[in-house]
């Protein structure tokens, strides 16, 4: 985002564009003057409110694609439509008001404070001072930077992660419908990167922008993307699909190689639990009499039962071996803490199982017991995810 580009827009209406817009690339190619093909014949549609990721090796044309969308670079052929409108027909200044842009390094103006940086676009749009200040403080808080502590610092006085947050705040300043993010988290260390990804996903849940996010890191792509375009040299899209599809059914050898041999494991992280995956062992209550429990276990031909308390919350489990005597279930049941919420990923379920050294994990909807996952049902769920019948968790951990 080059500040000078906004100078002419002072006449423009003060408000940002707001609503998320579709981005369509229609036969777009870019050949640089020296003959290098940056991208060749791209046909891609980025759905409104979705986070689409462009992933691929260095030099495959990701940045070129981004820069054509906000017209830093003009395409050699084809059309780019933003909300159905040909971007080449839109005044570049108007266009960039609708598109936030976050990049890895050259993000912030070094000689300006964080506050001044974040307020760049609203100021150039002619907002009055009070409104700019209010918006800047709101945005800094949104991205996790305390305006009082960090607002008056210069970029050099921030950590890498804090700089990236400030960069995201600045891109959101005029509430654009579209965000282009070019390797925004690549320069920060893995721990900070994961935290930024998590916060960014949470932010996206509330703002629901159309986001095109570039990375060369497939782990990052599957973690945050609603859809992923895997690109190869020369700007070819090898596959454009959901993370589960990319990992479960790579379209060709290039994609399979790019996502790696451990794609099965990666798929666990992007596949959500479906209630149809759950096993339903007999359910008993802490106050039930042991004689009734034995009958229930026998009827179901089960070796153990899930134990709920009187409020239907998970209490633990009871094995057939311990279901002896004539007391109540509560006296013999074992407590069990291994549970995950219904929206969790299979990876979270698996991790919980390992953490508690348990043979199963309970799945709860709020406090309500839904069923259990075992290693067998987990495996079946994973297989089904390849067939595309299991819902994905957006960016589940």
Token pair, residue 109, equals: 């103006």
Q: Compute the distance between CA of residue 362 and CA of residue 375 in angstroms, rounded to an integer.
A: 12
**34 contact choice in Mg ion, ligand ADP, none (CB below 5 to 8 Å, kind-dependent):** ligand ADP
Q: Which does 16 bind (CB under 5 to 8 A by kind): Mg ion, ligand ADP, none?
A: none
What's the start-to-end Cα distance of the chain, in Å? 32
Contact segment (CB under 5 A) with Mg ion among 4-12, 62-70, 86-94, 314-322 equals: 62-70
Q: CA-CA distance, 220 to 223, in Å (whole number)?
A: 5
* Closer of 58 and 206 to Mg ion (Cβ): 58
Supply the minimum distance, in Å, between the C-beta of residue 58 and ligand ADP. Answer: 4
| Site membership for ligand ADP, residue 16 (CB under 6 A) | no
What tokens were used for 33? 């003057």
Q: Does 36 bind ligand ADP (CB under 6 A)?
A: yes
**CA atoms of 349 and 375, how far apart (whole Å):** 10
Name, in order, each residue with C-beta under 8 angstroms of 115's C-beta and a sequence gap of 6 or more. 133, 136, 140, 147, 151, 152
Smaller CB distance to ligand ADP: residue 38 or 272? Answer: 38
Binding track, positions 50-89, relative to ligand ADP; x by CB under 6 A: --------xxxxxxx-------------------------
Mapped to the 3 state alphabet, what secondary structure does 333-357 carry?
A: CEECCCEEECCCEHHHHHHHHHHCC
**225 and 53 in contact (C-beta within 8 Å)?**
yes
Using CB under 6 A as the binding rule, whether residue 32 contacts ligand ADP is answered as yes
The residue within the footprint of Mg ion, chosen from 63, 162, 197, 377 (CB under 5 A), is 63
Single out the segment in contact with ligand ADP by CB under 6 A; choices: 29-37, 263-271, 302-310, 319-327: 29-37
Interaction site with Mg ion (CB under 5 A): 63
Interaction site with ligand ADP (CB under 6 A): 32, 34, 36, 38, 58-64
């Amino acid at each position: 985002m080059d500040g000078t580009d906004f100078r002419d827009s002072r006449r423009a209406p003060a408000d940002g564009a707001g609503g998320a817009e579709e981005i369509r690339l229609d036969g777009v190619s870019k050949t640089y003057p020296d003959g290098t093909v940056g991208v060749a014949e791209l046909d891609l549609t980025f759905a409104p409110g979705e986070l689409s990721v462009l992933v691929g090796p260095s030099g495959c044309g990701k940045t070129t694609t981004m820069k054509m969308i906000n017209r830093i670079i003009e395409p050699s052929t084809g059309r780019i439509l933003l909300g159905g409108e040909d971007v080449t027909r839109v005044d570049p200044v108007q266009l960039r008001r609708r598109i936030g842009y976050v990049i890895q390094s050259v993000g912030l103006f070094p000689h300006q404070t964080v506050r001044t940086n974040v307020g760049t676009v609203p100021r150039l749009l002619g907002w009055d001072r009070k409104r700019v200040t209010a918006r800047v403080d709101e945005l800094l808080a949104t991205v996790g930077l305390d305006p009082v502590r960090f607002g008056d610092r210069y970029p050099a006085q921030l950590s890498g992660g804090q700089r990236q947050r400030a960069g995201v705040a600045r891109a959101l300043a005029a509430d654009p419908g579209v965000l282009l993010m070019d390797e925004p988290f690549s320069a920060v260390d893995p721990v900070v990167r994961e935290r930024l990804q998590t916060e960014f996903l949470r932010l996206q849940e509330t703002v629901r922008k159309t986001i095109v996010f570039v990375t060369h890191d497939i782990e990052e792509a599957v973690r945050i993307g609603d859809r992923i375009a895997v690109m190869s040299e020369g700007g070819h899209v090898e596959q454009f699909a959901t993370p589960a599809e990319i990992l479960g059914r790579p379209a060709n050898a290039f994609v399979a190689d790019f996502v790696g041999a451990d794609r099965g494991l990666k798929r666990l992280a992007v596949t959500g639990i479906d209630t149809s995956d759950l096993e339903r062992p007999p359910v008993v209550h802490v106050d039930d009499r042991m004689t009734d429990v034995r009958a229930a276990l026998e009827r179901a031909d089960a070796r153990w039962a899930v134990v709920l308390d009187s409020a239907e919350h998970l209490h633990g489990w009871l094995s057939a071996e311990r279901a002896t005597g004539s007391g109540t279930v509560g006296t013999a049941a074992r407590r069990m803490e291994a549970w995950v919420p219904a929206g969790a990923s299979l990876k979270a379920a698996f991790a919980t199982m390992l953490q508690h050294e348990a043979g199963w994990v309970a799945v709860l909807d709020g406090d309500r017991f839904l069923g259990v996952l075992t290693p067998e049902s987990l495996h079946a769920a994973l297989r089904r995810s390849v067939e595309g019948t299991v819902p994905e968790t957006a960016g589940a951990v």
